[in-house]
Every structure is written in C-alpha cells, then in structure tokens.
C-alpha cells in the first residue's frame, strides 16, 4: 500500500500484513492429493481414454457422445465447486472471456479429436498424440 507524505511530496511504501488462516485438510485428503499419485491417476485416465472412446463410438456417434460427456462433466464440476467453495459466480466482466476460451479450447478441439478418433484406429491416435510432445 502506498501513501503520500503531504510535507515533502515523496511517495513512501509501508508494509501491510494480513493474517490469512491456513487451510488444513484431513490426512485422507493429503494421501489422495499426493502429486505423484494424482499424476499417475491422470496418466491412467488419459491412456484409457482412447480405448473407452473408441468403444463408445461404436455405439453412439462422436458428437452426441462428446456433448453428453462434457455436459455431464460440467454439471459434476460445478457441483464439486459449489460444495468446496460455496460461490460459483464468475468475476464481473469475465464470463464472455471464459465462454470463448471454452468454445475454442474445448469444444472445437474435442469435436475434431472425437471425429478423428472415430475415423482412425486407436493405436494411430495414441501415436499421433505422443508425437506432438
């Protein structure tokens, strides 16, 4: 926080400290939140994603399945956010930015991904994703 000294016109800086309560979680949460464990879970989910999607696309078209999948995920994530944080509102003026980020970053990408995976075999898709990195 800055303040102006009225006598000399100089700008001074004073330190402001706030007491922020530490957030503690149960030991059960700490065990589940281990970075190594969560990274392994993410790798398993991403790796299994190709096989699950390829099987699902044999039963239902890629676009309706993707819409159902992300619609359900959105509802579940909003419920989780509401349960953990209480308030789910966007900061003022940011909804439009988040909306377009979601359209470009998820909707377009996932539509192209789903269509490509439905037309190729799973091994080719995994090799293509791996080659990007």
Query: pLDDT tens digit string along 7-28?
Result: 555 566 666 565 655 555 556 6
- CA-closest candidate to residue 84, choices 37, 23, 1: 23
Q: Where are the alpha helices (DSSP H) in 14-121?
A: 27-32, 35-57, 62-85, 95-102, 109-119
Residue 25, both tokens: 């979680």
Q: What is the pLDDT of residues 84-120, one digit of tens each?
A: 888 778 788 888 888 888 888 777 888 888 888 777 7
The reported pTM is 0.53
Q: Which three-class secondary structure state does DSSP give residue 22?
A: coil
Residues 8 and 10: their CA atoms lie apart, in Å, by: 5
Say what the pLDDT of residue 19 is: 62
Residues 40 and 124: their CA atoms lie apart, in Å, by: 23
Q: What is the pLDDT of residues 50-78, one digit of tens each?
A: 888 888 888 888 888 888 888 898 889 88
Residue 94, both tokens: 């940011």
Could you tell me what percent of the chain has a pLDDT over 70? 65
- CA-closest candidate to residue 53, choices 104, 106, 116, 128: 116
Cβ within 8 Å of residue 107, ≥6 positions away: 70
Residues 65 and 56: their CA atoms lie apart, in Å, by: 8
Q: Cα 65–98–87 angle (5° rounding)?
A: 95
């Amino acid at each position: 926080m800055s303040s102006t000294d009225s006598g000399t016109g100089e700008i001074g800086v004073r330190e402001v400290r706030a007491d922020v309560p530490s957030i503690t979680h149960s030991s059960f949460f700490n065990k589940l939140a281990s970075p190594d464990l969560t990274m392994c879970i993410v790798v398993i989910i991403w790796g299994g994603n190709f096989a699950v999607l390829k099987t699902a696309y044999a039963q239902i078209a890629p676009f309706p399945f993707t819409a159902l999948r992300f619609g359900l995920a959105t509802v579940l994530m909003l419920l989780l956010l509401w349960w953990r944080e209480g308030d789910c509102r966007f900061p003022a003026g940011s909804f439009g930015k988040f909306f377009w980020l979601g359209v470009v970053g998820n909707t377009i990408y996932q539509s192209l991904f789903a269509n490509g995976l439905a037309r190729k075999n799973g091994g080719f898709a995994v090799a293509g994703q791996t080659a990007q990195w």
